[in-house]
Amino acid sequence: MSRIKILGRSDMDAEQGRVYDAAVAKKSPVGGPYYAYIRLPKLFEGAQTLRESQAAGPLSRREQVITNLTIARYMNARYPWFAQARASLAAGFDQTVIDAVNARETPMLNVARERMCFTVARELVEKKGLSDETYAAALRTMGENDLVALVAGVGSFMMTCLTANAFDVDPPAENPTPLKA
């Protein structure tokens, strides 16, 4: 049960309705942590814009998804985990990758950049920074601009996870890959 009342469209004021309608028209997410963000329309809109910017950035969809899946697991964020497990399957990851991340194990990833996204995300969440060794390896693998995009993506998705956790936003009951305790 969510700690925050989920506003229906009819419960929104004019500005909330405007940004909500714009997101729906773009087929952007409006659930999960966006249930909280809608109370502050500029935050809702800013979060949507940041999400769109990252989606159009230098990281592939698979790189973004493995990063977000890793963060959701380490943040114990149930709704983001649900959404990212589903997105992982849609991006072509095997269930074994999702299960490994869920078990806090290193998944078998054949693409060097995807492995690096997992490594950087896990280290940032666990250690709140990157070791010199990981930073140098990430720079070699990703390049400077893509590493900036990766670190910014980690920070942005941590906000998503923290919001979902703070407001106890639950995944739907039909969650095929629940987050392990």
pLDDT of residue 156: 95
Cα dist. 55→97, 121, 164, 174 in Å? 22, 17, 20, 27
Domain 61-166 sits in CATH 1.20.1290.10: yes
3-state secondary structure of 19: helix
Domain residues of the chain, as ranges?
9-55, 61-166
- Given the structure tokens 């942590």, which residue do they identify? 33
Q: What is the 3-state secondary structure (H, E, C) of 114-169?
A: HHHHHHHHHHHHHHCCCCHHHHHHHHHHHCHHHHHHHHHHHHHHHHHHHHHHHCCC
| Mean pLDDT for back-to-back runs of 10 residues, the chain (181 residues) | 87 96 94 92 95 93 98 96 96 97 97 98 97 98 98 96 93 85 81
pLDDT of residue 31: 86
Q: What is the 3-state secondary structure (H, E, C) of 56-85?
A: CCCCCHHHHHHHHHHHHHHCCCHHHHHHHH
Q: How far apart are CA 57 and CA 7, in angstroms?
A: 31
